[in-house]
Amino acid sequence: MYEPRITGPVRIALVGATGLIGRRVIELASAGDSVRILGIARREAPLPPGARMEMFVAEPAKWGEVLDAVRPRALICALGTTWKKAGRDEAAFRAVDHDLVLATAEAAKRAGVPNMVLVSAAGADKRSKALYMRVKGETEEAVSRICFKRLDILHPGLLRGTREGDLRLAERAALIAAPLIDPLLSGKWEQYRSIDAGLVAEAALGLALRRAGGRFTHDNEAMRRAAREWRKAAAHEGEDAG
């Protein structure tokens, strides 16, 4: 359902700003005046060209202090690592995809942030035999227990988009094959179809602005609907500016 248009700027905190979705969130928000992104990161990193935002660099233990100081309307969490970047170590992988995500969510709740958008993955399941899916599922369950006024969990399939840095061989092959494979994925497998990272970022921004309470999960199709609503709101903003 379409909600009233944005009357910003609304302050939205973002963790995971250097990833594929995080960078697209920054680009989209920087294109208008309805949202102001407040990035929080462990280290300095190049930002997308034309980025208009505030970036706070601090150790994760201090992120709560940053959130308490800036008091954003919502938190978008696009944190995540890969098996390779974690040194193929389960504890190191879990430290980012579970522990850091959970600690950030808890800090946001203590700072009075009412909304959180968590970028997870299609197939996330705490009972999965696959480490990646199991950790994602465990993280979703843990964050849900924090009881934000509103929690939106995104379940994108394979992400399409230009990544900074290396791309895993298997992922590169899957992206090349996606146009052929996607139409063959139906039923329970449809959730794994590829989706553009920009669309996921649009959905994350739109959902971060919603005020109705509850816990919601969004597959590819639900994210497409949320992205369309964000574009409508952004278009209204452009008309008002004109």
Kindly report, residue by residue over 99-150, the tens digit of the pLDDT: 999 999 999 999 999 999 999 999 999 999 999 999 999 999 999 999 999 9
- Rounded to whole angstroms, the Cα distance separating 208 from 148 reads 12
- Active site includes 192? no
Given a cut of 60, is residue 166 above it in pLDDT? no
Which of 132, 149, 188, 232 is an active site residue? 132
Q: What is the mean pLDDT of residues 63-87?
A: 91
Given a cut of 90, is residue 225 above it in pLDDT? yes
State whether the Cα torsion 74-232-20-83 is positive or negative: positive
Q: Tell me what pLDDT residue 165 has.
A: 55
How are beta strands 150-154 and 214-218 bridged, if at all?
parallel
Overall fold of domain 10-237: Rossmann fold (3.40.50)
Q: Domain ranges in the chain?
A: 10-237
- Active site includes 136? yes
Which of 136, 149, 192, 232 is an active site residue? 136
Q: Tell me what pLDDT residue 4 has.
A: 41
Percent of the chain with pLDDT over 70: 84
DSSP state of 224: H
